[in-house]
Amino acid sequence: MPRKRPPPTVLGSKNRLDELKALRHVLARRIDDETVAARDLAPLVRQLREVRVELDELEAVVAEKAAGVITTADDDWSRHLRSI
């Protein structure tokens, strides 16, 4: 049986993407914890939503960068100047 990878840790993160993934994991585990008080669930869920939005945005940027699709403001400005 393959060894299970240890869960990601926020402190052990190498970059922002890893940090967000670890934070998502921590929040999800806390939300799933049956001992968490009902009053604490709403803020945890809200925070998880915010982390997921930021994570989705960052993953999209990383994917675009890897595909060479990213354009910068300088690229847009250069195209504008050439079109004049």
pLDDT digits (tens, 9 = 90+) for 9-52: 777 778 899 999 999 999 999 999 999 999 999 999 999 999 99
Question: What is residue 64's predicted lDDT score, i.e. its pLDDT?
Answer: 83
Amino acid at 6: P
Q: Is the pLDDT of residue 79 over 70?
A: no
Exposed (0-12), middle (13-18) or buried (19+): which is 8, by Cβ within 10 Å? middle
Nearest Cα to Cα of residue 49 among 72, 75, 20? 20
Q: Interhelix angle for 38-67 vs 16-32, to 10°?
A: 150
Taking the C-alpha atoms of residue 29 and residue 12, their distance in angstroms, rounded to an integer, is: 17
Distance set, CA 6 to CA 41, 56, 57 (Å): 25, 23, 25
